[in-house]
Amino acid sequence: MLLLYFVFPLDPQRAPVGVLVGVLGSVVAMFGVSAVVVAEIRRAERRLTVLHLVLALEAVIMAFSAAYYIVATTKDGSFEGLSTRLDALYFSMTTLSTVGFGDVHATAQLSRGIVTVQIAFNLLFLGAFASLLQDSISLRRRDAVRGDAEPSE
């Protein structure tokens, strides 16, 4: 996914249809991932694994990074300190990790809106990850108390 992020054309002047398809695909994927995570949180039987969440997170990071890059390169003044794909990936990762160094930041309404959506997604993702971790620990403890040779998954 990371290779595709750096290779896929994101220049609206040279590939406007590709950019539109990529953005719409990213939005649909993000909402799809969110829906699956919410459904899994609500289920009593958990099927998601840490690997599933990590892969979903990677896809979402690439989608937000692409959105940041497209907005930054098409709308002047929408981001301070963001001019390359690596800058966009860096900003997406610092936003995800809640580090927020401040060297790159949103300055326009559209860019702030996208960042707000990523922050909301981050909260949902962290909640799902914490729930999955809690379930995994509970299952291991239950299996240990029972004396099962094979832990449940």
Residue 115 has pLDDT above 60, yes or no: yes
Residue found under tokens 């692409």: 66
Higher pLDDT, 142 or 78: 78
Pairing of strands 105-106, 79-80: antiparallel
pLDDT of res. 56:
79
Q: How many Å apart are CA 62 and CA 23, to the nearest integer?
A: 11
In this prediction, residue 133 has a pLDDT band, given cuts at 50, 70 and 90, of confident
Q: For residue 126, is pLDDT > 70?
A: yes
Within 10 A of 92 (CB to CB), how many other CB atoms are there?
Answer: 24
Which tokens go with 5?
């992020």
Mean pLDDT, rounded, for 64-83: 88
121/26 Cα distance (integer angstroms) = 13
**Helix axis angle, 50-74 to 109-146, nearest 10°:** 170
- pLDDT band with cut points at 50, 70 and 90 for residue 14: low
* H helix and E strand count, the chain: 5, 2
Token reading at 91? 């900003």
What's the CA dihedral at 93, 98, 102, 105 to 10 degrees?
Answer: 60
13-145 folds as Helix Hairpins (1.10.287)
More confident residue, 118 or 131: 118
Domain ranges of the chain: 13-145
96 versus 14: the higher-pLDDT residue is: 96
Say if CB 81 and CB 113 are below 8 A apart.
no
Q: Looking at per-residue confidence, does 98 or 106 come out higher?
A: 106
Q: Which of 109, 99, 78, 92 is nearest to 1 (CA)?
A: 92
